[in-house]
Amino acid sequence: LAEETFSDEERQRVLTVFSRKTFEKETIAETLKSIDSWISMLKRLMIRVLNANVSLEVPLQLYLERTDLWNDCVNNIDLETFQVDDVILLQHTYVVLRGLEKRQQTNNKSPQQQNVSNIQTIEGQRQKVQTWFDTTTRSTTAPKVIADKKGDKPKIRM
């Protein structure tokens, strides 16, 4: 199942064919248009089915039709809205999964770049804490003079 088993051209071909026949297809069910749902399903497939030591030479479509591998909002009617070519086999599962994850990262890159600027470095956090500590400790550690009600000697509290 390793990506290196397949050439770059074959990996790209498998991913392109899979994408066109599934979530990029115009007539596919709304619940299946998200890359996230496909990634989740392929992960479940790898955990549940591929650990069972089954033949990898069967079409992936046979497993994509199983409702038990999808989340609750996907039903049989949704699964009838796509048909993956029989040339895409179970052995291509990891290649498709990695390709979809890379595409997802590319699509999500711009919001993440905005969040990176908001994340402080360790040094920035230390400076912020030191500034806070300096301002709060000065005001609370200065001796406080409390005069006695009778006007006797002033008492100093620390």
Between CA 97 and CA 42 the distance in angstroms is 6
**What pLDDT was estimated at residue 63?**
93
Displacement of CA 115 from its chain's centroid (Å):
15
Three-state secondary-structure class, residue 145: strand
Tokens of 8: 């770059």
User: Count of domains in the chain?
Assistant: 2
Claim to verify: residue 38 and residue 72 sit in the same structural domain: yes
Q: Of 38, 46, 41, nearest to 91 (Cα)?
A: 46
Claim to verify: residue 104 and residue 150 sit in the same structural domain: no
Q: In the chain, what is the straight-line distance between the N-terminal and C-terminal CA atoms, in Å?
A: 69
Displacement of CA 17 from its chain's centroid (Å):
24
Task: Please give the residue range of the domain that contains residue 82.
Answer: 3-113
**What pLDDT was estimated at residue 52?**
82
Between CA 105 and CA 78 the distance in angstroms is 26
Claim to verify: residue 98 and residue 134 sit in the same structural domain: no
Claim to verify: residue 61 and residue 128 sit in the same structural domain: no
pLDDT tens, residue order, the chain (158 aa): 667 788 889 999 999 999 999 999 999 999 999 999 999 999 999 888 877 888 889 999 999 999 999 987 889 999 999 999 999 999 999 999 999 999 988 877 655 454 544 556 777 777 777 777 777 765 555 566 666 666 666 666 55
Q: What is the pTM of this model?
A: 0.65
